[in-house]
Amino acid sequence: MSCLHIKHLTVTFETLMGTVVAVDDVSFDHESKETLALVGETGCGKSVIASSILKLLPDNANLSGEILYGDKDLLRLSERELADIRGQEISIIFQNPTLALNPVYRIGDQISELFRVHKRASSKKSKAYATSLLGRMGFKDPEHAFHMYPSQFSEGMNQRVLIALALALHPKIIIADEPTKGLDDQLKEEILKELMKIKEEKESSLFLITHDFDAARNIADRVALMYCGQIVEIALSPDFFDEPFHPYARGLLKSLPSHDFAPIPGASPSMISPPEGCRFHPRCAERLEVCSHEMPEPIKKSGRIIRCFLYR
Ligand SMILES: Nc1ncnc2c1ncn2[C@@H]1O[C@H](COP(=O)(O)OP(=O)(O)OP(=O)(O)O)[C@@H](O)[C@H]1O
Ligand code: SF4
Ligand SMILES: [Mg+2]
């Protein structure tokens, strides 16, 4: 069962350099209870998709398409309607924990406020919920952690707090935008483990944006690969890693240190004036004559979605 249908989502930004097409006609479904990993090189549009879901984009953004959640199109809800969905139904863990937390409030107050405001819990109950959640996020002395400020914590600790905030109200969909960025390997593993544990317990779905292919392989049910604003392949995780279809997917996996460590030739394209035809054609060793002047449309093939003329 799908819990989120993204249909023809396009996001552009007006800048002094021209119009940036950050997300270009992206469609996919996020199934209920699944972990879907979104991968792709830096600047390809992953975070913009995540922010579009809860309409958390700056003023210079123009959005079109539909993001259907049940019978609601999230792109057409008022700020007031969205406020009821954010955190309670769909929550987002951002890339930078220290910037995302309020520096002047104690950690525990930031969490317990959610219970007070959204669940109308008493101060005493809210504090008890917040303290128990901090305990679950690995704080050995949650009472002590409750009284700390973000600046007194390391990046890793603040990331745990952000995850606690995102999970506090048991949302149906958790969007995690590189939740382990900049953390050491042990912390990464612990945080992902805890995130998955709570996700399973609460039967939420997880939309995980990551550069970490090992994490995507280990925890995702499906993987979606982006290139230059478009999704070029969506496949079950084992299929994607064992036999990627798209030439960009094959190149990316070969470029990993655990594989051949062979970089894809050429550079990432401009998001203001992307190449004609297939966006990947200037770098593609398998390109056909048609690729330089016609844009491949996404099609279903062998249980995958693929945007490439080789599979027409
Ligand atoms: N407010 C903005 N104004 C103009 N361009 C923007 C804005 N926000 C994002 N962009 C551009 O949109 C494109 C997609 O950005 P996005 O942050 O989604 O990339 P990303 O895939 O999340 O990259 P990373 O892996 O580095 O986090 C980039 O080219 C970026 O420069
Ligand atoms: S459409 Fe053509 S250029 Fe693009 S990835 Fe496929 S083969 Fe390569
Ligand atoms: Mg990003």
Task: Quote the pLDDT of residue 308.
Answer: 98
Which residue in 62, 10, 28, 50 sits closest to 223, CA to CA?
Answer: 28
Rg (CA), the chain: 20
The CB of 48 under 6 Å from ligand 1? The reply is yes
Residue with tokens 């297939």: 278
Ligand 2 centroid to Cα of residue 231, in Å, is 13
pLDDT at 268 over 90: yes
| CA 279 to ligand 1 center in whole angstroms | 17
The single-letter code of the amino acid at 73 is D
pLDDT greater than 60 at residue 230: yes
The pLDDT score that the predictor gives to residue 2 is 55
Does the beta carbon of 271 sit less than 6 angstroms from any atom of ligand 2? no
Cα 220 to the center of its chain, rounded Å: 12
138 lines ligand 1 (CB under 6 A): no
Closest residue by Cα to atom 7, ligand 1, is: 13
**Closest C-alpha to ligand 2, atom 6:** 308
State which fold the 2-89+171-311 domain adopts: Rossmann fold (3.40.50)
> Per-residue pLDDT for 25 more than 80?
yes
Is ligand 1 within 6 A of the CB of residue 26?
Answer: no
Torsional sign, CA 166, 170, 175, 180: positive
Please give the distance, rounded to the nearest whole angstrom, from the Cα atom of residue 241 to the centre of ligand 2: 19
Q: What is the mean pLDDT of residues 231-253?
A: 97
Please give the Cα distance from 136 to 292 (Å, whole number): 52
Question: What is the predicted pLDDT for the residue at 185?
Answer: 84
pLDDT band at 87 (very low <50, low <70, confident <90, very high): confident
pTM here?
0.94
CA torsion through residues 103, 107, 109, 111, sign: positive
Residue 47: name the closest of 209, 216, 252 by CA: 209
Kindly give the distance from the C-alpha atom of residue 258 to the centroid of ligand 2, in angstroms, as a whole number: 25
What pLDDT sits at residue 287? 97
pLDDT score of 208 more than 70:
yes
Report pLDDT for 146. 97
Average pLDDT taken over every residue of the chain: 93
One-character DSSP codes across the chain? -EEEEEEEEEEEEEETTEEEEEEEEEEEEEETT-EEEEE-STTSSHHHHHHHHTT---TTEEEEEEEEETTEEGGGS-HHHHHHHBTTTEEEE-S-HHHHS-TTS-HHHHHHHHHHHHS---HHHHHHHHHHHHHHTT-SSHHHHHT--GGGS-HHHHHHHHHHHHHTT--SEEEEESTTTT--HHHHHHHHHHHHHHHHHHT-EEEEE-S-HHHHHHH-SEEEEEETTEEEEEEEHHHHHHS--SHHHHHHHHTSTTTT--PPSS-PPPSSSPPSSSTTGGG-TT--GGGGTSPPPPEEETTEEE--GGG-
**Residues, the chain:** 312
- For the chain, report the end-to-end CA distance as a whole number of angstroms: 28
Q: Which atom from ligand 2 is nearest to the alpha carbon of 291?
A: 2
pLDDT at 160: 86
Tell me how far apart the 2 most distant CA atoms of the chain are, in Å: 68
> Domain residues of the chain, as ranges?
2-89+171-311
Q: Is the pLDDT of residue 95 over 80?
A: no
Return the higher-pLDDT residue of 130 and 195: 130
Torsions phi, psi of 219, nearest 5? -115, -15
From atom 3 of ligand 2, which residue's Cα is the shortest distance away?
A: 281
- The most confident of the ranges 95-104, 151-160, 183-192 is 151-160
Ligand 2 lined by 269 (C-beta under 6 Å): no
The yes-or-no verdict on residue 257 having pLDDT over 80 is yes
Query: Which pLDDT does position 94 carry in this prediction?
Result: 82
Q: How far is the CA of 186 from the centre of ligand 2 (A)?
A: 38
- Residue 292 Cα: closest atom of ligand 2: 3
| The pLDDT value given to residue 254 | 93
The predicted structure's pLDDT at residue 1: 55
Q: What are phi and psi of 275, to 5 degrees?
A: -60, 150
Interval between CA 7 and ligand 1 midpoint (Å)? 20
